Amino acid sequence: MKPVLQLSRVHEVKKILRRAGLNTVCEESRCPNISECFGNRTATFMILGDRCTRACSFCNVSRGSGKKPDPSEPERLLEAVECLGLDYVVITSVTRDDLEDGGADHFYRCIRTLKENIPGIKVEVLIPDFGGMVESLKRVLDGGPDVLNHNVETVPRLYPRVRNGSDYERSLEVLRKSKELAPYIPTKSALILGFGETFEEVTRVMEDLRSCGVDFLTVGQYYQPSFRHHPVVKYYSSDEFSLIEKVGYDLGFKFVASGPHVRSSYRAFEAYFTSSLYIPGEHKP
C-alpha cells in the first residue's frame, strides 16, 4: 500500500469515528500499529467513555469517573462499522468500577446491535474483570461474542506496581469461568513484556492461562507512553519473542502472536479465522 493512500485512509477512519462520536483504544493508548490498522480500515472500539477508574502504571488512558453509559452508543457503533465495511469487530472498554454491573449490559447491547443488523459479523470483546462479578460476565457471554478476551497483562509478582486495583487470580477466574459458562466461545489473553519479569515467570503465566482453557495468546513489548508511566526495564529481542511463541504452541495454544509491536487486538481476525476453532459458515447467535 502506498504511504499517501494509507494516510488518506487513516484520515477517513478518524473522520468516521469522530462523526459517530466513538473512542478507540488505538488512539487512547497510542498504539504503535495505529497507522497500519486505520490504513486498513480497522479499529478497536472503546465503549463506555474514555476515563478508567483504575490506574495501571503502563496505560495511557485517562483516569477518573466516567459518565453514565450512553444508550445511543450501540447504534453509533453500528453506523461506524457499516461505514468501514467491517466483518470482524473488536470492542473493548475502560474499566468502570463505578457502575453496578461494570458496564456488562452495555457490552451486551453493543454486541446484539451488531449481530442483529449485520449478517455474519464476528465480534470479539476485550473485557475488564468486572470486579469478579459472574453475573456481569454471563451477561456479556449471553450477547454471543465470537471471542472473549481478557488480558492478564503481566506476571503476578508485578501486579501491585503495574496493575494497581486488579488481581491476577481474579483475571484467571474470568477466563476460567468464561469457558465454564460458554465452552464454545474461544478465549484469549495477552501479556506485555518489559516490566522486569523473568522468562520463568512468563512461562508460568502461560501455563496458568492454558490451565484455564485459554485458546489464543498475544505477547508484545511495552513502550513507555510518557515519563510518568512505568519505565521499560527490558527490550526483548526477536529471538526471545520467537522462543515465547514456540513455548506457547508447545503448551497447546491454538494461536500465538508474539513480537515487539504485537498488541491484544492487532490482526485479531487472524487468530479467529486461522485457528482450528473456526468453522466456515458457522454463526453463533
pTM: 0.86
Which pLDDT does position 53 carry in this prediction? 79
Which pLDDT does position 44 carry in this prediction? 80
Which pLDDT does position 135 carry in this prediction? 98
CA pair distance 235, 225, nearest whole angstrom: 15
- Say if residues 152 and 171 touch (Cβ distance below 8 Å): yes
Is the domain 3-274 a CATH 3.20.20.70 member?
yes
Which pLDDT does position 65 carry in this prediction? 77
Which pLDDT does position 277 carry in this prediction? 57
Low-confidence ranges of the chain (pLDDT < 50): 1-5, 7, 28-29, 39, 279-285
Which pLDDT does position 229 carry in this prediction? 85
pLDDT in tens, 16-69: 776 767 766 555 445 555 555 554 555 688 899 887 777 777 676 777 777 899
CA pair distance 69, 94, nearest whole angstrom: 12
Going across the sheet that includes 88-93, the strands are 23-24, 44-47, 88-93, 122-126, 147-149, 187-193, 216-221, 255-258
Which pLDDT does position 267 carry in this prediction? 66
